[in-house]
Amino acid sequence: MAYYYPEPSHTFSEYLLIPGYTSENCIPDRVSLRTPLVKYRKGMEEPAISLNVPLTSAVMQSVSNDTLAIALAKEGGISFIYGSQSIENQAAMVAKVKGYKAGFVTSASNLTPEATLADVLDMKKKNGFSTVAITEDGTATGKLLGIVTSRDYRVSRMDPSDKVRDFMTPREKLITAPKETTLKQANDIIWEHKLNSLPIVDDDDHLMYFVFRKDYASHKENPLELLDSKKRYLVGAGINTRDYATRIPALLEAGADVLVIDSSEGYTCWQKNTIQWVRDHYGDTVKIGAGNVVDKDGFRFLAEAGADFVKVGIGGGSICITRETKGIGRGQATALIEVAAARDQYFRETGIYVPICSDGGIVHDYHMTLALAMGADFLMLGRYFARFDESPTNKVMVNGAYMKEYWGEGSNRARNWQRYDLGGSTKLSFEEGVDSYVTYAGPLHDNVEASLYKVKSTMCNVGVTNIPDLQRDAKLTLVSSVSIVEGGAHDVTLRSTSTVK
């Protein structure tokens, strides 16, 4: 006879936290959200990689590209660049994140001296930048011959056909800096000479980057940014259980700091084989997470297979229709609670702490706090990040409101069938995800700051100032459907509507 779980499975919205004692030391500014990303001998050593905030972005085409990865690393989290693209393209995205120097910007507007004022105006209109690099071949890395800013021309007095070479600020009048220049030195030069931008050039006088006056300040605003020993942003990458022998070396060569097997269901021999291949070729130097699982058996299997972290969640993603198409999955809260207990049990037995990631289904900011309280070491979010400026998808106007596109990896649009691959050669595929819109929400920084401030405030209500204490001390209660109604505004007529996230 089949096994029947005695309890129904629950999700985040069915739980609430009960406040604990809050002392005067327990204020949001004192809360640390630092958390381990990969397994370690807790109490004996520090994890090889920790996050400064417990957020990771989903391994999805519509979420995690290089732009989002840089924005999230600035906040202290990490992105996993999607694997449902060619190995070359994925490696190039990873390389872009690793090559990114905070404050050093590759020139976006470039022309040759033979271009005209009309070309300059055209370019300014198209991409909004007023600094145009003038290089020998008109590329961002050509030999630097001058720059044009709005100080160099007067549209009312000049002819649109005037040549750039006749009105640009020429190379000999430019103040530049060599490639070794640090951001701090560049900033000093900018201040000393009252510049708006400083071109950084290589030994052959080819343009490498611009440092802009405004960027130094923004760099200083990111005290939690997640950097490697060479001060480059950390970045992860998704892999699959088919082409790992060629994909992994390319991703590591590009600089990936951590890998994750991206699959809807991880309790499989394919995941074990993939982890084994990594251990055979790289020992413990390469970090690899696995998943997804929703119970203790799945967790133990992957922990014993050598996973560096385990992702939890099947069917809870906002774009996911796995439960409807296949009838598998589990309420995210129940899955998380069981897997967290299995992780702690595994730690007691082996001394090895394997972090777990709650993947999918975070709708409200308070769900983040609940997931952490239920034992998640960090979270993976798709819909949340898809709404921001930095996500890779188009911003479109739908019914008078700005939206961003967001589609599942199992949708016809992404066609990431490998994620749902269960071996064999049959190529029959069916959709497990939808193509959708999400409400546009602006810059990642502002949103993450607001969400995490809420998380920290709630942690203070619980009376804790770090995630391990939250996991140990939180008191949670299931709520009845009637008390959920009580939790919203009720029995009043609202004067204005706002959506609380």
Nearer to ligand IMP, 13 or 196 (CB): 13
291 to 175, 260, 267, 315, 379: CA distances (angstroms): 52, 8, 7, 13, 13
Among 372, 382, 391, 437, binds ligand IMP (CB under 6 A): 382
Residue with Cβ nearer ligand IMP (436 or 465): 436
- Per CB under 6 A, which region of 82-90, 168-176, 229-237, 356-364 contacts ligand IMP? 356-364
Q: Give the residue with the Cβ less far from ligand IMP, 191 or 430.
A: 430
| Whether the Cβ atoms of residue 139 and residue 110 lie closer than 8 Å to each other | yes
**How many Å separate Cα 114 from the centre of its chain?**
41
Q: How far is the CB of 262 from ligand IMP (least distance, A)?
A: 8
- Which one from 232, 247, 300, 320 is the annotated catalytic residue? 320
Number of H helices, E strands in the chain: 16, 23
- Helix H or strand E encompassing 458: helix 444-462
Measured from the CB atom, the residue of 107 and 416 that comes closer to ligand IMP is 416
Residue 433 binds ligand IMP (CB under 6 A):
yes
Query: In a 10 Å sphere around its CB, with 0-12 CB exposed, 13-18 middle and 19+ buried, how is residue 114 labelled?
Result: exposed
361 counts as binding ligand IMP under rule CB under 6 A = yes
Please tell me whether residue 404 binds ligand IMP under the rule CB under 6 A: no
Verify binding: residue 58, ligand IMP, rule CB under 6 A: yes
Q: How far is the CB of 100 from ligand IMP (least distance, A)?
A: 24
Figure out which of the listed residues 241, 318, 358, 393 binds ligand IMP, where binding follows CB under 6 A: 318
Indicate whether 329 belongs to the interface with ligand IMP (CB under 6 A). Answer: no
Residue whose pair of structure tokens reads 């769900």 in the numeric block: 367
Q: Is 393 in the site for ligand IMP (CB under 6 A)?
A: no
- In the region spanning residues 143 to 182, those forming contacts with ligand IMP, defined by CB under 6 A, are none
Selected binder of ligand IMP within 408, 437, 447, 471 (CB under 6 A): 408
Distance of CA 448 to the CA centre of its chain: 11
DSSP letters spanning 206-255: BEEEEEEHHHHHHHHT-TT--B-TTSPBP-EEEE-SSSHHHHHHHHHHHT
Q: How far is the CB of 488 from ligand IMP (least distance, A)?
A: 21
Contact code string over 215-244 relative to ligand IMP, x by CB under 6 A: ------------------------------
How many residues in the shown chain lie near ligand IMP by CB under 6 A? 23
Beginning with the edge strand found earlier in the chain, give each strand of the sheet holding 104-105 in spatial order.
104-105, 207-212, 197-201, 177-178
Using an 8 Å Cβ cutoff, are 136 and 145 in contact? yes
Active site residue 320: yes
Strands (E), 89-159: 104-105, 110-111, 132-135, 144-148
Which of the ranges 97-105, 168-176, 181-189, 360-368 carries the binding residues for ligand IMP, by CB under 6 A?
360-368
Binding residues for ligand IMP restricted to 262-281, rule: CB under 6 A: 264
Among 51, 60, 168, 208, binds ligand IMP (CB under 6 A): 60
Residue 410 engages ligand IMP in binding (rule: CB under 6 A): yes
The yes or no reply on residue 381 touching ligand IMP (CB under 6 A) is yes
Give the nearest distance from C-beta 81 to ligand IMP in angstroms: 13
Is residue 380 part of the contact set for ligand IMP (CB under 6 A)?
yes
Is 357 considered catalytic here? no
Span from 11-19, 141-149, 355-363, 483-491 in contact with ligand IMP (CB under 6 A): 355-363
Closest CA to 172 of 147, 196, 197: 147
Dihedral in degrees, nearest 10, Cα atoms 292, 298, 300, 303:
-30
Q: How far is the CB of 474 from ligand IMP (least distance, A)?
A: 22
In the window 442-471, what residues touch ligand IMP (CB under 6 A)? none
- The residues in 246-265 that bind ligand IMP, with binding defined as CB under 6 A, are 264
Give yes or no for residue 331 binding ligand IMP (CB under 6 A).
no
- Round to whole Å and give the CA distance between 326 and 410: 13
Q: Which residue has the tokens 């505004």?
A: 489
Nearest to 310 by CA among 374, 365, 267, 273: 267
**Interaction pattern, residues 14-53, with ligand IMP; x per rule: CB under 6 A:** ----------------------------------------
**Interaction between residue 362 and ligand IMP (CB under 6 A):** yes
| CB within 8 Å of 293: residues ≥ 6 apart | 265, 266, 267, 299, 301, 302, 310, 311, 312, 314, 335, 339
DSSP letters for 325-375: HH-----HHHHHHHHHHHHHHHHHHHS-B--EEEES---SHHHHHHHHHTT
DSSP string, 251-317: HHHHT-SEEEE--S---SHHHHHHHHHHHHHHTTSS-EEEEEE-SHHHHHHHHHHT-SEEEE-SS-S
The CB-nearest residue to ligand IMP is 433
For the annotated catalytic residues, the residue numbers are 320, 419
List contacts with ligand IMP (CB under 6 A): 58, 60, 264, 317-320, 322, 359-362, 380-384, 408-411, 432-433
